[in-house]
Every structure is written in C-alpha cells, then in structure tokens.
Structure 1
Amino acid sequence: MIRVTWLVAMVAVAALSMPATAVSGDAAGEALQKRAEAGDAKAQIELGRALEEDGAPADKAASTAWYRKAAMAGSADGAWRLGFALMAGTGTARDVPAGLEWLRQSVNISQDADHMAALAMLLATTGGDQKEAMQWAQMAADKGSPKGFEVLGMARLSGKWGLPKDPALAEKLFTTAAQKGDVNTQVALGKLYFSDAFGREDSTSGVHWLQAAADAGSAEAAGFLGYLFITGKEGVPVDAARGVALARKAMAGNAMEGHYAMGVAYVTGVGVAENLAEGWYQISIAQRMDSQQGLASAGGYLAKAAAKLTPAQLAQLKARVDADAAKLPAAPPGP
C-alpha cells in the first residue's frame, strides 16, 4: 500500500480554488455581465469562472474568452486562468506552449510564490525548459513557498529536471516544506519514510508526519496511517483502537485508504468485531477508487473473506459494490 503521489495537482492553487458565483438572469447576474462588458477585469474573471462551471461547451468557450479579455488588460488572475484553459483545451484549442507563456506573464505580474512553484512543476513535467523550471522553484522557495521546497525536493530525490540526485538534500527540502504546514508534503514525506527513498526507512518519522497531516484534515493520511496501526506493517506497532479511529476518520472524508483500512479491520477482526461481508465490501469499494493500482494486498484479504461467504452473499455484495461505485466521484489521474 506504500504509494507516494507526486502532487501535480498542486498547480490548482489559491487562484483556482475560490467558489464561483452562479450566473442567472437576476439583477446580480445582469450587473455582473454589465461590469464585465464595461472592462472590469474582476467581473470578467468572476463571470468566466461561473460560465466555466456551467459545463456547457458554449459556456466554457465564453469563459475562456472572458479570461482572455482580463489577461489582455493586464490581470494576473486572468492570465493565470487563461493559461490553464489553454493547457487543458477548455473552451479553446489546446496549446501548451501558449498556456505556459500566459502563466509566466501572470507570475511576473503577481510575484505569487505558490504560482511560481506551480509553473516550475508544469514546466518540468510538460517538456518545458527544465533549467527555467528549477529557477522558478528556487525563486518560490526563496520567497518561503513550501511548494517551492517540494518541487526542489522532487528534483533532488529523482535526479531529474537538471539537478543532480541528492537524497539527503531532498529530505531537508521536503522537511522544510512539511514544517511550514504544507499538508500534501507532510503526506508525501510520511510515505517516503516508509520507503528507502532517503537511503533508510524511518517509521517513527513516517508516523509523525502522517499524523500531522491527518490532524490537519488529510483523509488520505488518516487512512494510510490507520492501515499501518491495524496491520502492524512497515515496522509500526499494532494499535487497533487508534488505527480504527483513523480509518473511520478517513472514511468520513471518503478516502480510498480509509475504506481499505476499515475493510482490513473487519476481515481480520482487529479493533472491531469480525465482519467478513462488510470487510469484503469496503475493500472492494477501495479497489474501485484505486486509480493507481496501489492495493497489492487487497486480493489476499478478499480471498480470505470470500472463503467464508456463501455464493449468495457474494452476489449481493457485488451488486452493492456496483451500485455504490457508480456514485463515487471520478478518480483523479495518476501521476
């Protein structure tokens, strides 16, 4: 179950995270439209965001057109959103080089450190100039962005993107980002300590950073750590009560790791009364959520449960899984 997801999703940072205002025919919607048409860049962006979330192709095209108007008027936010629209082909033809150029223009205007780190990551992973990518990452780190430290850590850990491999330095860079409170980095660092990425395994540090991330609200970290406490894997002493509590917390956040950890608990009877049917169901749901095929041990637990379930029970469980899996949100793309 050890997986480290490199966080390309980090590019969807603050400027893309605010909720959009619905566009309607009411007075507020009409006023927003008039302000946008009058050249108000903030209104253009707000209108663009609302249209983008409507889902209709024509609205997405209109959304990108409003972002372009704002960008052409010198808006950093407009340029940032236009860059992503071009890179994704949202409402326009996909054009990665043009998208990257608009992102550069945005960052040059805003000097936003997290956006610098996001640009660095995009340049590094889309065939852009790797030297430039690392320059943006360093600038982000110099401004105190944990994402900047994370990108530099990735580069030093892998030996890619124009920087020599240096696991010791990578550990320091990841740790700096984690200490700054970046939850995604805390999750990644915690998992890395259960691998030999830094030349050694360190379960104590791994538990520390996963617990920090779980305390900060990461359902993924809670589920992963819960699994370790339930199973005693990776040198972590079994703590059934703590493991089940973490797994349930992760399930409340609908994290795949939470479903899996609770499924294992039910199948093995650790921390809860044995319930093979519920265990089989939870593990199967986790498999449906696992876009990266990381649950290597799932088959063994499923087989253990299935051996004591009747064909009729299994048929009912499969139907339940099929019905509930159809309601799950789409899994994010793998790294």
Structure 2
Amino acid sequence: MQKTLKTTLAALLLSAPMPLLPKAPDCGILEDCPTKPKPPPRRNPSPRPERRPQPQRNAEPAAPSLLDIGNRAMSSISDMAWSSTGLAKTLAQFLGKAPISTLIAMADQGQTRALVLLAEAYLDGTGVKKDEAIAAKLFRLAADQGNAKGRVGLGVMYALGKGGLVTDKAEAVRLYRLAADQGDSFGQGNLADMYYYGEGGLAVDKAEAVRLYRLAADQGNASAQAYLGMMYQWGQGGLAKNENEAARLYRLAADQGNAGGQTYLGLMYQFGQGGLAKNENEAVRFYRLSADQGDANGQIQLGNMYQRGEGGLKIDLALAAKFYKLAADQGHLVGYNNLGLLYEQGLGDLPKDEIEAARLYRLSADGGYAGGQYNLGVMYYNGARGLTKSKTEAVRLFRLAAAQGDEAAKKALTRLGEKP
C-alpha cells in the first residue's frame, strides 16, 4: 500500500513532549482553498499576446513578389496576431518560404509592424538566432515611431532588464502608459499590473488596476480577463465580491487558452464556486491544460489532485512530486514547500532527505510563504538533520506564519505556550 502523508491536526493534538509534524501540501493558490484569498500570482509582463486566428486572404489573380505579399499582409494582420507561438505560422501563411528575409526588407521600408514582428523573432529565436539585444533595438525603433506594440515590447525589456538594458520599471511604466493611451490592450494590462503591485514608482492602486484591466478585457485580452476575474472573486479594487462574474471572466480567458484562466476556472469547478456545480474531473481537465503550458499554478493544482487521488485520478505521489518540482523549478513558493514535504518523508519515489527538505522549506519561507515558514519551524523545533535544534528559531518562524493567518502555526504557538 502506498504511503500517505502525515497530517498536522494529529500532531497538534499530541502532548507537549511529542515532536511537531509538518503540514500536508498546500493547495497552492488558496490556503484551505474554498475561502482564503491570495493575490494574483505574478506574471512576467509579456509583449506576446495570445494568438487569434487570422482570416484567409482571397487568392491573388497574379503572382506578386514576396515583398508585395508581405506588405499587404502587414496591413491585414491584426494587433492581436503578433504572438511568439504563432509567429512562424503567421509569417509563413503570408510570406511564403522566406518570411524572415522578407520581413527584414519590410522593416527596412520603415514598417513598424514588421519591426515588431522581427523583434519577436529575435526574442524567441524564430527563424533567426535568438538575440535579445537586437530584439530590444527593434522594439525601440518601432516605439520611437509611435507603434504601441513596440512600446509594450520595449517596456517589457526594461521591466525585466533584458536585451542589455538596465532594469528600469519606471521607464517600463512610461512606455506602457503611452501604449495604453493609444488603446493597446497589452499596454493597459501591463500598466494595470504595475498599479496592482505598486511598481515602477507607482503607489498600489487596485481601483486603477481594475479600470485598466477592464479596458483590456473588453478588447478580449485574455490575461486581463483572468486578472479582472480574480479581483471580482476577492472583491478587490472597489469591486463587490462576485464569484459568478469571476467564473464568467475565467471562462472567457480559458477559452482563449490562457493558463491563468484555466487554473482559476478549475478551482471554481473543484469547489463548486461561481454558480458552477462541483466537478473535480472538470477541474483536473483545466489544471492539466494549464500545466501543459508550463503554468506553475496549474502544475501545483494538478500535483495536489494526484497527491490526494481526486478528480478521477489515482493517488500517485511520484506524479505529484513531478508537478511540484516543475513548479519549484520556476521559483514557485508553494512548489518548494510541497516538494520539501515529500523529501522530508521520502515519498513520491524521492529519497528521504531532511537536508534537501530544509533547503526547499527555506526557499519557500524566505519568499514569505506561510506553509514554508511553518514547516521550517517544525524542523528547527525537532532538530532535523543539518539544523541545530532551536525553539527560538522555531517560534520566530511560527510567528511569521501565524501573522499571515496560518492556523497550524497559531496552534503550534499555543501548544508551546507562546504568544502569536
């Protein structure tokens, strides 16, 4: 029979001399998922919108040059088409067998859309050798000519400090605002992100984030739809809490293939929220769609379902470990925590390794995650391998977790006779 995870509750009911036990893996986005909100996961601002299918052009009566085809194509490609995932297909559809060389010729003519698409090609290494510095220069050329997508792309390069640019979030904000003022949905969405988190010299202003997300969402921007949905779900930015509206927005985003929308719609199905009937199988389907795109939140949720054997899945701690590791490799704090627990107990085909568990818990704890703080505190209290036993350090970590509302940490402090 496969080993199962130890539970926190049993540990806290034991008498004082008994060691504390670690928490079971957290659900990831929501602690005790149905009720406790977490802020939206940080998404890297991206100049690459989701791809939308483009209409087929009618066949031309004559055989024009590749450059002529390219010029007509650039005038017909919508603003939503410049996607890294769809770049090669889009260009091949319009430009034949030599899309990059033709695109370069079009860029030389000063076509700003061509500059942006060429920048995308260099950013992702599509048809050319990947070169972020060239991508940044091309985005700048387009931005300097007033192209909104060029401004967004250059803003992202500044926000992330890529392409040889020094990280400058204030400059990113300036560029996003210029694009947003042109009505660009990705300028609006990325500027909303900066207001939500209070970055680039902006004060946190969730009401302004709501306004901008709504402008972008109304244009069909899937990321903005997902973020606006989360703000409705938690009643943020002056919005009345409305789970039904949140579910509607998540579905709009998910139907466009947005990983965040898929994960949050999956949570709605898992817990029967937003007017949806509880359906764990449907939740698993959406988590898998998200995880398959490399989304760390989707990976965490799918790992949880395998760990608990829910949604029509058999308990498989090896697969749970796989998905937790995928999330941890992206720096996900819950991924560190959940993978650490499996190492601590030697589950999921992983060797029992308290040193590795403590390392992972520390990464989670240092990032501010309550579950990681609690579990690292337990290891200090019990004197786990590689750590010097320290009630003082354990209490410090329990207090950090308790300050975030972690019930296990509060009970541990009570048991130890300490104040939160």
Match of 1:9 among 14, 39, 43: 43
Q: Which residue of 1 aligns with 2:362?
A: 287
Q: Which amino acid aligns with 2:40?
A: W
Question: Aligned runs of 1:82-93 on 2, under 5 Å?
Answer: 82-84=154-156, 91=166
Q: Using the alignment, how far apart are the partners of 1:131 and 1:304 within structure 2?
A: 43
Give SS of 2:371's match. Answer: coil
Q: Which residue of 2 aligns with 1:166?
A: 242
- Residues 97 and 236 of structure 1: CA distance in aligned 2, closer, same or farther (over 3 Å): closer
Contact kept? 1:240, 1:270, Cα under 8 Å: no
Q: Which amino acid aligns with 2:322?
A: R
Match of 1:76 among 148, 154, 157: 148
Q: Using the alignment, how far apart are the partners of 1:283 and 1:184 within structure 2?
A: 30
Q: C-alpha displacement at 1:139, in angstroms?
A: 4.3
Q: C-alpha displacement at 1:164, in angstroms?
A: 2.8
Q: Which residue of 2 aligns with 1:29?
A: none
Contact kept? 1:226, 1:244, Cα under 8 Å: no
Contact kept? 1:186, 1:213, Cα under 8 Å: yes
Q: Which amino acid aligns with 2:248?
A: K
Deviations 1:135-154 (A, max 9, x none): 55344334433223213213
Unaligned runs of 5+ in 2: 1-25, 30-37, 50-81, 86-102, 124-129, 388-420
Give SS of 1:9's match. Answer: coil
Counting helix residues as a fraction of each chain, which structure ranks higher?
A: 1
Q: Which residue of 1 aligns with 2:228?
A: 152
1:251 aligns with 2:325: yes
Question: Aligned runs of 1:136-215 on 2, under 5 Å?
Answer: 136-190=212-266, 204=280, 207-215=284-292
Q: C-alpha displacement at 1:6, in angstroms?
A: 1.2
Give SS of 2:43's match. Answer: helix
Q: Using the alignment, how far apart are the partners of 2:167 and 2:313 within structure 1?
A: 53
Q: Using the alignment, how far apart are the partners of 1:101 and 1:218 within structure 2?
A: 27
Q: C-alpha displacement at 1:183, in angstroms?
A: 1.1
Question: Aligned runs of 1:1-335 on 2, under 5 Å?
Answer: 1=26, 2-3=28-29, 4=38, 6-9=40-43, 11-14=45-48, 41=112, 46=119, 53=132, 67-84=139-156, 91=166, 94-95=170-171, 98-105=174-181, 107-108=182-183, 111=184, 113-123=185-195, 125=197, 126-127=202-203, 134=210, 136-190=212-266, 204=280, 207-227=284-304, 229-230=306-307, 232=308, 241-252=315-326, 254-255=329-330, 256=332, 257-258=334-335, 260-272=337-349, 275-277=351-353, 280-282=355-357, 284-288=359-363, 291-296=367-372, 297-299=374-376, 302=379, 309=385, 314=386
Q: Using the alignment, how far apart are the partners of 2:352 and 2:286 within structure 1?
A: 32
Deviations 1:311-332 (A, max 9, x none): xxx37xxxxxxxxxxxxxxxxx
- Residues 102 and 199 of structure 1: CA distance in aligned 2, closer, same or farther (over 3 Å): same
- Residues 293 and 206 of structure 1: CA distance in aligned 2, closer, same or farther (over 3 Å): same
Unaligned runs of 5+ in 1: 20-31, 316-335
Q: C-alpha displacement at 1:285, in angstroms?
A: 2.6
Q: C-alpha displacement at 1:12, in angstroms?
A: 1.6
Q: C-alpha displacement at 1:284, in angstroms?
A: 2.2
Q: C-alpha displacement at 1:73, in angstroms?
A: 1.7
Contact kept? 1:167, 1:198, Cα under 8 Å: yes
- Residues 250 and 159 of structure 1: CA distance in aligned 2, closer, same or farther (over 3 Å): closer
Give SS of 1:150's match. Answer: helix
Q: Using the alignment, how far apart are the partners of 2:171 and 2:217 within structure 1?
A: 28
Deviations 1:41-84 (A, max 9, x none): 5569849x889956xxxx99xx57x7554323232332223444
Q: Using the alignment, how far apart are the partners of 1:281 and 1:88 within structure 2?
A: 30
Using structure 1 for the length normalisation, give the TM-score.
Answer: 0.59
Q: Which amino acid aligns with 1:244?
A: A
Deviations 1:190-246 (A, max 9, x none): 45777898699968365454334224443443344424543x4xx959977523213
Alpha-carbon RMSD across the aligned residues, in angstroms, is 5.1
Q: C-alpha displacement at 1:271, in angstroms?
A: 4.5
Give SS of 1:245's match. Answer: helix
Q: Using the alignment, how far apart are the partners of 1:285 and 1:182 within structure 2?
A: 29
Q: Using the alignment, how far apart are the partners of 1:167 and 1:99 within structure 2?
A: 33
Contact kept? 1:210, 1:221, Cα under 8 Å: yes
- Residues 151 and 301 of structure 1: CA distance in aligned 2, closer, same or farther (over 3 Å): same
Using structure 2 for the length normalisation, give the TM-score.
Answer: 0.49
Identity across matched positions, percent: 20
Q: C-alpha displacement at 1:281, in angstroms?
A: 0.9
| Farther-moved stretch of structure 1 (72-81 vs 286-295) | 286-295
